[in-house]
Structure 1
Amino acid sequence: MDSVINDYIANLTPKAKGQIRGTAKLEITDHGSVMLDETGASVGNDPADVVLSASDEVFRNILSGAQNPITAYMSGKLKVEGNVQRALKVSAILTA
């Protein structure tokens, strides 16, 4: 498994656990996908209620607080497919 994906799982599991209803998927360009649900984060590429796609750099900047997820979306750096309310919830979890 990609070490980048492992980093996301380790970082996001405590943030996502008990915070998400349904499923969300983060597609990290050139690395793979991370699934988020009420149990935390895991490797996967299953269908999800919302899919956020971006480069590793953009996701890392969002996680560190250096990049606002709404600004990233508006500038085209972050793509969102699916439920917009869930996307906002996921972005809140990422920036927590």
Structure 2
Amino acid sequence: MSDTMDQAVSVLSEKFAGADIGGTVKFDIEGEGAIMVDDAGVRRGDEEADVTLKADADTFQEILEGSLNPTSAFMGGRLTVDGDMGLAMKLASVLA
């Protein structure tokens, strides 16, 4: 298991604790793997999702640390979103 993925699962679990996701989200971290988030929690996995957010490991790390706003990452082309944009916007507030 990569340290990046272990840390990401831990941080996302804290950020999404008690949050009402209302869908299935996949964070696709280039070169590392994927993390699934839904109302059941956060786990490693690569399943179908309502929205997929894809970024390289450095960008994802910056988002998790709070030094990069997810919306700014998207607008700057560092984060791609495929699927339900409404759900993606909801995630931005949880990640910020």
Question: What TM-score do the two structures reach when normalised by structure 2?
Answer: 0.90
2:39 maps to 38
Q: Is the 8 A contact 1:17 1:38 kept in 2?
A: no
- Aligned equivalents of 2:34, 2:22: Cα separation in 1: 18
Correspondences of 1:1-96 after superposition (within 5 Å): 1-19=1-19, 20-95=21-96
Task: Tell me which amino acid in the other structure corresponds to 1:35.
Answer: M
CA deviations on 1:42-78 (whole Å, 9 max, x unpaired) are: 0100000000000111111112221121111111100
Q: Which runs of 5+ in 1 are unaligned?
A: none
Over the matched positions of the two proteins, sequence identity in percent amounts to 36
When the two structures are superposed, what TM-score results if normalisation uses the length of structure 1? 0.90
Determine helix, strand or coil for the equivalent of 2:82: strand
Aligned residues: 95
Contact 1:26 1:52 in 2 (8 A): yes
Unaligned runs of 5+ in 2: none
